[in-house]
Amino acid sequence: MGFGIFNTNAQNVDVQQNPVLFTDRDYCISGDTVWFKVWLQTSEKNSGNVVRVQLDGKNNKLISGVAVKSFEGWAAGFIAVPDSLSTGQYFLTAFLNAQRNKSELELVSKSLLVYNRFAENIAEMEIYQPDEILQKTDDQIMILNTNKEKYLPGEKVEINIELNKEIDCKWFVVKATLIDPLAHEIRGNFKFKVESLNSFIPDFHENNGLLLSGKVTDLNGNIPSNALVTLSAGEIQPFFDYYFLGENGDFHFFLKDAIGNADVVLQVVSNDKNSYFIQLDNNYLRRKDLINTQQKVLKQDQIEFINTAIKANFAHRLFNPSTSVRPEIFEMPSRFLMPFYGQPSQHVVPEEFIDLPDFREISRELLPGFQYRIKNDEITFRMINSRQKIFFEEEPLRLINGIPVFKNDLFAGLKSTDINYIDLVLNERIYGDLIFNGVLEVSLIDKSNLWLTQQPNVFQFNVSFLQPNRKPGNFIQKNLNETQPDMRQVYFWELLKVESLQNIGFYLSDRKGKIEISIEGFTGKNEFFHTSKMIEVK
Amino acid sequence: MMNMEKYLLFHFVVLLHMISMAQNSGLSGVNLTQNSNRLQGKLTGEVFYLSLTSNTSHFLQPDWIEGTITLKDGDVFEGIRMRYMAFGDELVAYNSNIHKLFIVDKNTVQQFTFKTSLKSGNFAERKFINLDSLEIFTDGTYFEELYSGKVKLLAFYQIGETKVSPYIDSTGKICDTEFLLKTIYYVMSGSKDLTRVQLKNRSLFILYPENKKEIRKLLRKNKIDIIDESSAVRAFDLLDVNGFLK
């Protein structure tokens, strides 16, 4: 979407306060990828530079949510629409975490019509039709000309833009897309009053990182007291943090510069023997009021368009099987040039020595200052305090692959060939308000962490952090093979500066219908503008 | 009575068990509260135990002062009570939540600042930078930044233990060493070369021999004679404004 019509004055108020969302399409087939751009009008330093974009259904059910980092006021990313999503109207909304606890928050959402790719002859749909849709009028900031008005499939469209030079325009979102008659009929942006789904998530200003929130309860739903949650993530240089549970059993972590998907390990540490559960919270907003939808009987041209679009999508998948965006590898640069537990007093690589069959032998032969004791079948570790030249009374912080371990017998069977390296920190360390009486870190060659299943109150989650910077490549007409169909519906989708507005052109696909070319953006005074032109492919 | 003893013994054993479980975790945090949470990050370091000798002889400041620590990743911690330990070149901070002193991990620190009161009643901010953060990769050293312009005037404070004639110290003990503070000054050029200097006009003439006459004339005209840090800062500022520093 993005070619909805706005009331410029209303939009100026929103522009001052809220992120402005642009999308490359206002309809899609389930399984498609929707690309978006977001303009952050507010100062990034004040509110954070990470934008969250969510896709939800009419009943406030969250379908998908992503977080992207902005650069020079603009953020760009994508949402993968689930393959199994049923036909219906959905909404895309952009927001900053810093906004979540505002008492009266109104956000502008964009409608996205999804047609399930297995549906046939969709003749009616439930559509939200509010009393008032934000409409926009064409501004006279520029004049769009094309080399023709009517084209044949596959032809090249050349755009000429006459800019009103009195207006200082900085950025332009240029889009050319095939029109869905139904989406075009209900086009517009929808303003909703929204609220945080989870009031315990703080309105933390997310700068260059992501807030991860969750809750801890026991089997009966009770909240533990005096417990903390630890988080471990990353393989090469593990990240660690802790959170002392709030009165609602909530915890929050901020992972700076964390990009991609990662398995994070969360553990509940408390003085009792209870079993606990951890649930991660979805960080999204919901509409305060239910929206009233009405069953809309579709017109013939709308039905035909949808049928054609589904078939075109099928054909496109047939000839382009690998077009979905894959989950990303995790990247999170370490904050400092040393592990979170401190510079090791000893760094031992067992591979450099004779192979030893178990950890008791390893500690005896390779780890001076570390004692491995067995008493009454119980294994205990003791470490020497190198400053005071005496052994610590308490056990050290024990880590395997950067994850705290509380059962010493997990170390017992480790042999030299299992271990990448061992770090010993032979002094008393402070990490925030935590004190470590020495540290033992065993980094294993196998990072799968299957040993975690033997630890109580430990949970592993796959978490999506900041979305890596990706550009859509499927708009470009790359398939010049005349025997393969070109079923694109989006032909051009770029954020351009004024000097790049010359000589814009794109190739049409094999699909016929009306195409809208639109240019939207902001003037130097941060006023929103919109201009569009229709052409036809017959 | 026997029942009471059994009752007390039972609960004592349970209590011991609970304490030992907390110890077995390897995470010790006696006074953890919501104040222990800080989403942006935590300060880390090695626990430090203050002795009578270290308290009186090892630190630049006579007492704990409140300041700000800026880490290399941009995280800023304000309101931290700290002292610079010139004997050993370390920053010692106080964690008021758990009542522990600790040596802040030097390779995480970019700089620290604190205010000192002047005789006039005003406050002056003193700024210490970690040389690593200036991309001069040594094993990390804290320098006070006295002046920052096209060049930096830096001071390195070093407390060393030196042999002296035996004497009786304040505790009545016989000692034959003293802790003495030495200050060494450096000028760091734009290309990050460090040159040791003394707080004298002559140092500037040696640093910039090609402009020796002009510098001498400028200092004389402005009645600046470098004899201490304050006059040195004024001299460097004057030369910077007039384009002599490079």
Q: What is the pLDDT of residues B72-115, one digit of tens each?
A: 999 999 999 999 999 999 999 999 999 999 999 998 999 999 99
Q: Which of B29, B47, B71 sits opposite A433 (nearest CB)?
A: B29
Contact A336 B73 (CB under 8 A): yes
Our CA angle for A389, A391, A397, nearest 5°, is 120
Average pLDDT on A328-344 reads 90
Our CA angle for A334, B128, A209, nearest 5°, is 25
- Do residues A155 and A508 touch, judged by C-beta distance below 8 A? yes
Task: State how far residue B107 is from chain A, nearest Cα, in angstroms.
Answer: 7
Give A-chain residues touching B32 at CB under 8 angstroms.
226, 228, 244, 433-434
Average pLDDT on A359-366 reads 96
Point out which residues pair with A516 in neighbouring strands: A177, A534
- Give yes or no for residue A83 having a pLDDT over 60: yes
- Do residues B28 and A416 touch, judged by C-beta distance below 8 A? no
- Give yes or no for residue A322 having a pLDDT over 80: no
- Give yes or no for residue A79 having a pLDDT over 90: yes
Average pLDDT on A247-268 reads 94
- Give yes or no for residue A9 having a pLDDT over 80: no
pLDDT at position B172: 85
Task: Identify the residue with better confidence: A483 or B38.
Answer: B38
The distance of Cα B183 from the centroid of its chain, to the nearest Å, equals: 14
Residue B32 burial class via C-beta count within 10 angstroms: exposed 0-12, middle 13-18, buried 19 and up:
buried
Contact A397 B26 (CB under 8 A): yes
Give B-chain residues touching A430 at CB under 8 angstroms.
43-47, 95, 98, 100, 102
The secondary structure of A421-436 as a DSSP string is EEEEEEEEEEETTEEE
pLDDT at position B18: 41
- Give yes or no for residue A29 having a pLDDT over 70: yes
Q: pLDDT class for B28, splitting at 50, 70, 90?
A: low
Measured from the Cβ of residue B53, the count of other Cβ atoms closer than 10 Å reads 15
Task: State how far residue A343 is from chain B, nearest Cα, in angstroms.
Answer: 9
- Give yes or no for residue B183 having a pLDDT over 90: yes
Measured from the Cβ of residue A415, the count of other Cβ atoms closer than 10 Å reads 14
Average pLDDT on A173-190 reads 90
Q: CA A174, CA A24: separation in Å to the nearest integer?
A: 9
- Give yes or no for residue B238 having a pLDDT over 90: yes
- Give yes or no for residue A471 having a pLDDT over 90: no
CA-nearest of A19, A191, A33 to A111 is: A191
Contact A204 B39 (CB under 8 A): yes
Is the Cβ of B47 closer than 8 Å to some Cβ of chain A? yes
pLDDT at position A134: 62
The residue among A204, A433, A439 with the most chain B CBs within 10 A of its CB, best to mutate, is A433
Task: Identify the residue with better confidence: B140 or A61.
Answer: A61
- Give yes or no for residue A19 having a pLDDT over 80: yes
Q: Which long-range contacts (CB under 8 A, 24 or more apart) does A42-46 make?
A: A42/A16, A42/A17, A42/A96, A44/A70, A44/A73, A44/A207, A45/A207, A46/A98, A46/A205
- Do residues A375 and A395 touch, judged by C-beta distance below 8 A? no
Is the Cβ of B1 closer than 8 Å to some Cβ of chain A? no
Contact A435 B97 (CB under 8 A): no
Is the Cβ of B72 closer than 8 Å to some Cβ of chain A? yes
Using CB atoms and an 8 Å cut-off, which of residues 74-103 of chain B contact chain A?
A: 95, 97-98, 100, 102
Say which range, A121-130, A441-450, B207-216, B231-240, has the weakest mean pLDDT: A121-130
Task: State how far residue B18 is from chain A, nearest Cα, in angstroms.
Answer: 6
- Do residues A336 and B72 touch, judged by C-beta distance below 8 A? yes
Q: Find the residue in B nearest to A251 (Cα).
A: B37
Task: Identify the residue with better confidence: A481 or B133.
Answer: B133
Q: pLDDT class for A481, splitting at 50, 70, 90?
A: low
- Please report the number of interchain residue pairs, chain A to chain B, with beta-carbon separation below 8 angstroms: 120
Task: State how far residue A166 is from chain B, nearest Cα, in angstroms.
Answer: 41
- Give yes or no for residue A480 having a pLDDT over 80: no
Is the Cβ of B73 closer than 8 Å to some Cβ of chain A? yes
Give A-chain residues touching B25 at CB under 8 angstroms.
269, 404, 406
Contact A269 B98 (CB under 8 A): no
Q: CA A414, CA A170: separation in Å to the nearest integer?
A: 61
Q: Find the residue in A nearest to B133 (Cα).
A: A336
Q: Is the ipTM of this complex over 0.90?
A: no
User: Which residue reads 């590898």 in tokens?
Assistant: A329
Contact A256 B38 (CB under 8 A): no
What percent of chain A is helix, strand and coil (3-state, nearest 5)? 15, 45, 40
- Percent of chain A clearing pLDDT 70 (strictly above): 90
Give the H or E element holding residue B204.
helix B201-207
Q: What does the buried/exposed string (b/e) look like for A482-491 if buried means 16 or more CB atoms within 10 Å of the residue's CB?
A: eeebbbbbbb
Kindly list the strands in the beta sheet with A156-163, ordered across the sheet, starting from the edge strand earlier in the chain. Answer: A142-146, A156-163, A504-507
Task: State how far residue A429 is from chain B, nearest Cα, in angstroms.
Answer: 4
What is chain B's mean pLDDT, rounded?
Answer: 86
Say which range, A44-48, B114-118, B216-220, has the weakest mean pLDDT: A44-48
Contact A246 B32 (CB under 8 A): no
pLDDT at position A14: 43
Is the Cβ of B23 closer than 8 Å to some Cβ of chain A? yes
What is chain A's mean pLDDT, rounded?
Answer: 87
Contact B28 A228 (CB under 8 A): no
Q: CA B128, CA A393: separation in Å to the nearest integer?
A: 37
pLDDT at position A527: 77
Measured from the Cβ of residue B132, the count of other Cβ atoms closer than 10 Å reads 19
Q: Which of B22, B40, B44 sits opposite A431 (nearest CB)?
A: B44
Residue B44 burial class via C-beta count within 10 angstroms: exposed 0-12, middle 13-18, buried 19 and up:
buried
Q: pLDDT class for A502, splitting at 50, 70, 90?
A: confident
Report residue A15 as tokens: 């522009």
Q: pLDDT class for A517, splitting at 50, 70, 90?
A: very high
Contact A406 B97 (CB under 8 A): no
Say which range, A1-5, A23-27, A241-245, A485-489, has the weakest mean pLDDT: A1-5
Give B-chain residues touching A211 at CB under 8 angstroms.
39
- Do residues A223 and A249 touch, judged by C-beta distance below 8 A? yes
Say which range, A106-110, A225-229, A500-504, has the weakest mean pLDDT: A500-504
